[in-house]
């Protein structure tokens, strides 16, 4: 049984967070990472996940996973992993709950359609869109746009799948130069003193960045980095080679609030990424079987599933099919969680990071599956790709979803006044690339149902 104990040396410490973009007084009842989690849960984009597709459009049935139920399952597994690894559970959960906020309606079909529409204008990436949501598009608070999440949560959203840049230099160079650290500390100390003088928090925050309280189209006019539509083909940084495609928005935000894109994310964010894989493998098996896209005998062609299924049938002969499915899925999830804990603890013991930053600079992911279970995971994913995601029933719905997005984008781009007034006002006076980003923001935020209603409204049927 996993028991709460003291955090490991490599765990993120909420009391020593690198802070927020905008200084805020600390909460007397919650840690900084708990506040992040709560802000995510209460934001509009999180509620919309209830009506966004995971694989099946909700109209297909009430019991299939949506983005929201998937996200809740990821959060639960992320907490379990973080607890076993003696990390901060709240940070792991916050990253898990935010990881899909940038997804479009209609799941990957909708994302593929929006990517195609945005190809001439810098592309579209749901990971970057999640960052846009939590730093720009959520407009709830009096002093700033976005949710003003901590550095650690933002880092986890952007880098939970690994670094975006790679340095060939010594790993120590990934941290700021000592002189830069001293300057940063001095500025933070000065800001802290100023905040205390005005009755604000002494919670350590990065220096405030002039102009960022209004992160919007007007940011270009102030000469600050354009966080809306920065170009993707930016000048390469000396000694840095691209690891994964880096969106212009991530690059621009990083210029204003550096997220150390060359390092891995925290152990907590890595736990959230591992939880994402485990959750979707489990629930896609469940949904695929319940939708009768494939049978138990079909999926038993993968060796790992065959072994688990044999144990279920041996222990419970004659068990009805729905209970067999549930037993199979719960044992698959448990096996992957327990293997991930064991393998991750071995890696952490081998690397022995003495701090959260040392874990980030380890040069490898520390939360992983063992090689045999990683192979089992690949087998299951290959099966699901061929037999579920490419099933004719799913593909038929996805094609109609792609058609909806592919029709809405050019309609709104050519006639911004077709969008609601607040969106039209932003887009109508903009040049092509900037207008396209506004249209993409509007479409990406839609639920499946809202997108279908927009098709009816715009095209009359």
- If you write DSSP's letter for every residue of 62-122 in order, what string do you get? SSS-BHHHHHHHHHHHHHHHHHHTT--HHHHHHHHHHTTTTPPTTHHHHHHHHHHHHGGGT
pLDDT at position 397 is: 78
pLDDT at position 395 is: 82
Give the ranges where 213-320 is alpha helix by DSSP (H).
248-256, 267-290, 296-299, 303-315
pLDDT at position 182 is: 41
* 290 within 8 A of 325, measured Cβ to Cβ: yes
The encoded tokens of residue 238 equal: 């000396």
pLDDT at position 15 is: 94
Instruction: Name the 3-class secondary structure at 257.
Output: coil
Other beta carbons less than 10 A from residue 439's beta carbon: 28
Determine the Cα–Cα distance for residues 214 and 212; give it in Å rounded to an integer.
5
Q: What is the pLDDT confidence band of residue 229, given thresholds at 50, 70 and 90?
A: very low
Q: What is the pLDDT confidence band of residue 169, given thresholds at 50, 70 and 90?
A: very low
pLDDT at position 238 is: 30
pLDDT at position 213 is: 32
Sign of CA dihedral 333, 105, 137, 262: positive
* 127 within 8 A of 444, measured Cβ to Cβ: no
In the beta sheet, which residues pair with residue 53? 66
Determine the Cα–Cα distance for residues 374 and 368; give it in Å rounded to an integer.
8
* 335 within 8 A of 354, measured Cβ to Cβ: no
pLDDT at position 60 is: 54
Q: What is the pLDDT confidence band of residue 401, given thresholds at 50, 70 and 90?
A: confident
Residue 399, H or E segment: helix 392-414
DSSP string of 333-389, one letter each residue:
HHHHHHHHHHHHHHHHHHH--SSHHHHHTTSS-SS---HHHHHHHHHHHHHHIIIII
* 184 within 8 A of 207, measured Cβ to Cβ: yes
CB neighbours of 268 closer than 8 A, spacing ≥ 6? 11, 12, 78, 82, 87, 88, 91, 92, 95, 152, 156
Determine the Cα–Cα distance for residues 381 and 372; give it in Å rounded to an integer.
14
Determine the Cα–Cα distance for residues 66 and 56; give it in Å rounded to an integer.
8
Please give the average per-residue pLDDT across 426-442, as a whole number: 93
Residues 2-50: pLDDT tens digits?
A: 456 799 999 999 999 999 999 899 999 999 999 999 999 999 999 999 9
pLDDT at position 461 is: 65
* 76 within 8 A of 276, measured Cβ to Cβ: no
pTM score of the predicted model: 0.82
Mean pLDDT in the chain? 83
CB neighbours of 48 closer than 8 A, spacing ≥ 6? 445, 446, 447
Half-sphere exposure (Cβ direction) of 145: Cα atoms closer than 13 Å: 17
- Of all residues in the chain, the percent with pLDDT exceeding 70 is 79
Q: What is the pLDDT confidence band of residue 211, given thresholds at 50, 70 and 90?
A: very low
Q: Which residue in 186, 202, 203, 166 sits closest to 19, CA to CA?
A: 203
* 389 within 8 A of 107, measured Cβ to Cβ: no
Exposed (0-12), middle (13-18) or buried (19+): which is 372, by Cβ within 10 Å? exposed
* 22 within 8 A of 147, measured Cβ to Cβ: no
Residues 317-370: pLDDT tens digits?
A: 999 999 999 999 999 999 999 999 999 999 999 999 999 999 999 999 999 999
Q: Could you give phi then psi for residue 186, rounded to 5 degrees?
A: -65, -45
Other beta carbons less than 10 A from residue 349's beta carbon: 8
Sign of CA dihedral 51, 55, 60, 63: negative
Lowest mean pLDDT among 96-100, 238-242, 294-298: 238-242
pLDDT at position 64 is: 72
pLDDT at position 61 is: 53
């Amino acid at each position: 049984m996993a028991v709460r104990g003291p955090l490991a040396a490599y765990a993120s410490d909420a009391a020593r967070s690198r802070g927020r973009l905008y200084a805020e007084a600390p909460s007397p009842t919650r840690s900084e990472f708990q506040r992040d989690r709560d802000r995510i849960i209460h934001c509009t984009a999180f509620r919309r996940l209830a009506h966004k597709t995971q694989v099946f459009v909700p109209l297909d049935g009430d019991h299939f996973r949506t983005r929201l139920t998937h996200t809740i399952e990821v959060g639960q597994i992320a907490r379990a992993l973080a607890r076993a690894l003696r990390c901060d559970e709240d940070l792991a959960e916050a990253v898990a709950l935010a990881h899909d906020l940038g997804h479009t309606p209609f799941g990957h079909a909708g994302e593929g359609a929006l990517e195609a529409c945005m190809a001439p204008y810098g592309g579209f990436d749901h990971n970057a869109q999640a960052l846009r949501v939590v730093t720009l598009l959520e407009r709830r608070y009096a002093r700033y746009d976005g949710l003003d999440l901590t550095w650690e949560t933002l880092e986890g959203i952007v880098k939970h799948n690994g670094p975006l840049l790679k340095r060939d230099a010594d790993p120590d160079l990934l941290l700021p130069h000592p002189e830069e650290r001293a300057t940063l500390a001095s500025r933070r100390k000065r800001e802290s003193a100023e905040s205390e003088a005005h009755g604000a928090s002494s919670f350590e925050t990065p220096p405030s960045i002039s102009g960022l309280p209004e992160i919007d189209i007007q940011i270009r006019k102030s000469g600050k980095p354009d966080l809306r539509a920065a170009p993707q083909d930016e000048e390469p940084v000396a000694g840095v080679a691209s690891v994964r495609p880096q969106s212009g928005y991530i690059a621009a935000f990083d210029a204003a609030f550096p997220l150390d894109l060359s390092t891995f994310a925290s152990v907590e964010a890595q736990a959230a990424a591992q939880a994402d894989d485990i959750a979707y493998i489990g629930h896609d098996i469940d949904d695929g079987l319940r939708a009768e896209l494939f049978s138990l005998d079909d999926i038993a062609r993968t060796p790992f599933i065959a072994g688990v299924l044999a144990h279920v049938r041996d222990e419970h002969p004659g068990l009805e099919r729905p209970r067999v499915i549930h037993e199979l899925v719960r044992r698959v999830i448990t096996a992957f969680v327990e293997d991930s804990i064991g393998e991750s603890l071995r890696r952490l013991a081998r690397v022995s990071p003495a701090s959260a930053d040392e874990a980030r600079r380890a040069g490898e992911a520390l939360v992983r599956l063992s090689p045999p279970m990683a192979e089992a995971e690949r087998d299951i994913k290959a099966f699901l790709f061929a037999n579920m995601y490419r099933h004719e029933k799913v593909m038929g719905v996805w094609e109609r979803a792609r058609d909806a997005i592919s029709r809405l984008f050019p309609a709104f781009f050519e006639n911004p006044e077709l969008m609601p007034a607040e969106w039209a006002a932003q887009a109508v006076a903009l040049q092509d690339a900037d207008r396209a980003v506004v249209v993409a923001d509007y479409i990406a935020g839609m639920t499946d149902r809202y997108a279908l209603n927009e098709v009816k409204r715009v095209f009359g049927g």
